[in-house]
Amino acid sequence: MKTNVRNTAGKIVPVARGVFLPDDAPSHWSLSGHLTHLAKGLLSLLKGMGLTVGYFVDPGRIITRQYPENRETLTMFPRFRGRLALVMDDATGLPLCTACGMCEKACPNGTISVLTTRDNADRKVLGRYIYRLSQCTLCNLCVESCAFGAIRMAQDFELSCYDRNDLHLVLYGKEE
Amino acid sequence: MEPLIDTSRYPVTNAIGDFIRASMPGPMAELTNIVLAVVSLLAVVGLTPVALIWMERKVAAHFQARLGPMRVGYHGLLQPLADGIKLIFKEVMKPEGADTFVFFLAPILSATASFMVLTVVPFDHHLQVTDVGGGVLYVIAVAGLGIMGVLLAGWSSNNKYSLLGAMRSGAQMISYEISLALLMLLIVLLSGTASLREIVFSQAGTVLDWWIFKFPLFGFVTFVLFLISSTAELNRAPFDMAEAESELTGGFSTEYSGISFAMFFLAEFVNMFVAAALTTTFFLGGFLAPQFGLAPLDRMLDAIPGFIWFFLKSYSVIFIYMWFRWTFPRPRVDQLMNLEWKILVPANFFLLLIAGFFVVMGWL
C-alpha cells in the first residue's frame, strides 16, 4: 500500500483493519465499491440481454427484405440514390431545368451533357439532356449543384442491360 | 445415502439392448450392444452440429433483426448440408514446416474429447453408455483433452500467430476449468454422489427440487456462474479471444482448411452441446420431466419420454449461450483473467462453503 500512499495528496483513509486506500482511489477499490461495481455491471448485462431478446421475439422489427419475391411491393427508402431523373413542372409539363450547365460542370465523370437551344422568343432553353449511366457513380454531386431543384436521384435500381448503348440516356429532347 | 426415489421406475436397460441380449450368446450380445451404443453416440455427434449450425445462424440473424438463411430449403433448413459439403470438398492444406503427425492429430483429439464426454451423459434413464461411479471426475479429466487439441494445433502449425492464439486459449481454458471443476464439486457435495445418473435422481420431485432452485438463491447464482465458466471454457463469444474473428485471424485454427477445420468446427458445436447437457444434468433435472405438483398435468408431462425433456432442456441452455454470444461485447484478455481469478474463483469457494454449511446442517 506504500506506493498508493505516495501518489496521493497525503490523506490516508482506513477501509478495514490493516487496509489503507488513498482518498483519491477509484471507488471500486474498496469492498463495498467493488460489489456495487459488480452489481451495476451485471444489471447492464441484463439490460443488454433484454434489448436483444426484444429483437428476437418481434418479427415486425426484422429489416431484411426478400428482394425478388417482394418486387411488386418494394419501396426504396427516400434517400436511396438510383439513376438521375429530371424534375418536371406540374403546371406546364416541361422540365424545371434552365440549362445553366452547373450539373455538367459538377460531374467528375463527364456523365451529363446539357445541350441548349433557342425558343420562339429567342431565349436560351434546354434542348437535350444527355445522361450517360455507364459513367455515373451515383454520387449526387449534380443534384447538389443544381440551383433550381430540377434534377433528382430516382428510386429505380434495376439498371442492368445487355447493350452498353442502352446506358446512353436522353432524359429530355429528341434522340440523335 | 438411502435412495431418494423409487429407481425401479427408471430401469437401466432398454428394449433394444434386451432384445439383443435375448437373441445372441453372452459375449456376442455384449459386443453388439457396445457397437450400437458407440454408433448412436456418433449419430448424436454427427447430427448435433447440423442442428446447431442452422440454429446458430437463425438465432444470430433474429437477434440482429435479420432473417438468416432463407433460400436453401424451407427457411434455410438445408443450409448446414450446403456448408458441410463445401467444407468437405475444400482442399486440405498443411503449412510448410508443420509437424505433419501432430498437425493432423490435433483436430481429431479435439473432436474425440467432446465425443468421450458424451459416453457418461444420461440422455435418458436407459440411454447412457455407461454410468461411471466417478462420472464427474471423468468429465473433468476428459474435457481437459480438448485443451491438448487446441495447444497442439497451435504449436504444430509452424505459425507464430497460431501459437499465440493457442497459448491464449490454453490459458483461458485451463483457468476456467478450475471454476468449472469447483462448481461440479459443489453439485457433487449437494447431491452426495459423483455419478451423473445419481445426480439426476437426486433432483427427483417437483421443479423446485432441481438444484437450480433446491439450493435456495445460491442455486441460481451457481447456475449463472456455471453458464459463465462453461462459455469461457468453450472459447465462445463473448470469451472468444482466441478466435475473435472480427479482430484477429482464426487463432489456433488459422492454418487449418477443409475437413481438418471442419473437425474443429464440429468439436466446437459438440462441446457446446456437451456443456449444455452437463448444465441440464447438474441443474435442470436432466431427463426428469418437470413436475409442478398438480397430479393431472404431472402425469401428462411424465408420459413424454425422458430424452425429449433432456434435449429440450439442453437446447434451451444452448439458446442462452447464443443469446450471450449475440449480446455481449468481448472483454480484453486481462479482464477475462480478472473475472476468473478475482471474481469467479473466490465466489465459487464462497458458494462451496455455503453448500458445505447447508449439507452439514441438513437443510437440503
Q: What is the pLDDT of residues B26-35, one digit of tens each?
A: 888 888 888 9
Q: Determine the pLDDT at residue A6.
A: 44
Is B173 in contact with B150 (CB distance < 8 Å)? yes
H/E run at residue B45:
helix B26-63
User: Using the 8-state DSSP alphabet, how is residue A152 labeled?
Assistant: E
Percent residues over pLDDT 90 in chain B: 37
Distance from CA of A82 to the nearest CA of B (A): 24
Closest of B147, B167, B170 to residue B159, by C-alpha: B167
Average pLDDT, chain A: 85
Q: Could you count the other beta carbons within 10 Å of the beta carbon of residue B190?
A: 23
Q: What is the pLDDT of residue A46?
A: 93
Nearest to B242 by CA among B234, B256, B60: B234
At a CB cut-off of 8 Å and minimum separation 6, what does B148 contact? B109, B113
- B64 has a chain A CB within 8 A of its CB: yes
**Can you give the pLDDT at residue B246?**
66
Out of A45, A48, A56, closest to residue B62 by CB: A56
Mutate one of A62, A65, A66, A69 to test the B interface: name it (highest B CB count within 10 A).
A62
**Lowest-confidence pick of A14-28, A116-130, B36-50:** A14-28
Is residue A133 within 8 Å of residue A160, measured between CB atoms? no
Contacts of B328 (CB under 8 A, 6+ apart): A45, A48, B237, B238
Find, in chain B, the residue whose alpha carbon is nearest to that of A60: B65
Gap from A166 CA to chain B (nearest CA, Å) = 32
d(CA B140, CA B231): 15
Mean pLDDT estimate for chain B: 88
Rounded to the nearest angstrom, the gap between the alpha carbon of residue B132 and the centroid of all alpha carbons in its chain is: 18
B65 touches chain A (CB under 8 A): yes
Check if the beta carbon of residue B190 is closer than 8 Å to that of residue B211. yes
pLDDT at B350: 93
pTM for the model stands at 0.84
The pLDDT, as a whole number, for residue B179 is 92
Of B63, B67, B324, the CB nearest to A56: B63
Band (B60; pLDDT cuts 50, 70, 90): very high
Between chains, do A45 and B62 touch, taking CB under 8 Å as contact? no
Q: Which residue among B63, B70, B343 sits closest to A55, beta carbon to beta carbon? A: B63
Q: What pLDDT does A47 receive?
A: 94
Predicted confidence (pLDDT) per residue in B280-324, tens digit: 999 998 899 898 888 888 888 888 888 999 999 999 999 999 999
Q: Say if residue A131's pLDDT is above 90.
A: yes
Confidence at residue B207, expressed as pLDDT on a 0 to 100 scale: 86
Q: What is the structure's pLDDT at B19?
A: 86
Type and span of the H or E element at A85: strand A84-86
Model pLDDT, residue A14: 60
Among A38, A47, A49, A56, the residue to mutate for chain B (most B Cβ within 10 A): A56
* Amino acid in position B99: D
SS3 B278: helix
B254-279 mean pLDDT: 90
SS3 assignment, position A109 = coil
Choose the closest CB to A64 out of B59, B63, B67: B67
Task: Tell me what pLDDT residue A1 has.
Answer: 43
ipTM of the complex: 0.79
Rounded to whole angstroms, the Cα distance separating B284 from B305 reads 16
Residue among B349, B154, B160 nearest B235 (CA): B154
Give me the residue from B61, B70, B323 closest to A53, CB to CB.
Answer: B323
pLDDT of residue A174: 74
- With contacts defined as CB-CB under 8 Å, which chain A residues touch B61? 64
Average pLDDT rounded to a whole number, residues B42-48 = 90
Is residue B327 within 8 A of residue A49, CB to CB? The reply is yes
What pLDDT does residue B145 have?
A: 85
Q: What is the pLDDT of residue B182?
A: 94
* CB contact B35 to A (< 8 Å): no
- Spell out which residues of chain B touch residue A38, defining contact as CB-CB under 8 Å: 343
No. of helices (H) and no. of strands (E), chain B: 14, 0
Q: Which of A64-68, A171-175, B216-220 has the lowest mean pLDDT?
A: A171-175
Quote the cell numbers at residue B194: 459423483
Can the peptide bond before residue B346 be classed as cis, meaning omega within 30 degrees of 0?
no
Alpha carbon A107 to chain centroid distance?
20
With 60 as the cut, is the pLDDT of residue A5 above it? Answer: no
Type of residue found at B116: M
Contact flag A49-B323 (C-beta cutoff 8 Å)? yes
Q: What angle do CA B143, B148, B153 make, to 5 degrees?
A: 130
pLDDT at B223 over 90: yes
Confidence check: pLDDT of A12 > 80:
no
C-alpha cell belonging to residue B178: 478450475
Give the model confidence (pLDDT) of A70-110 as tens digits: 888 888 888 899 999 999 988 888 899 999 999 999 999 99
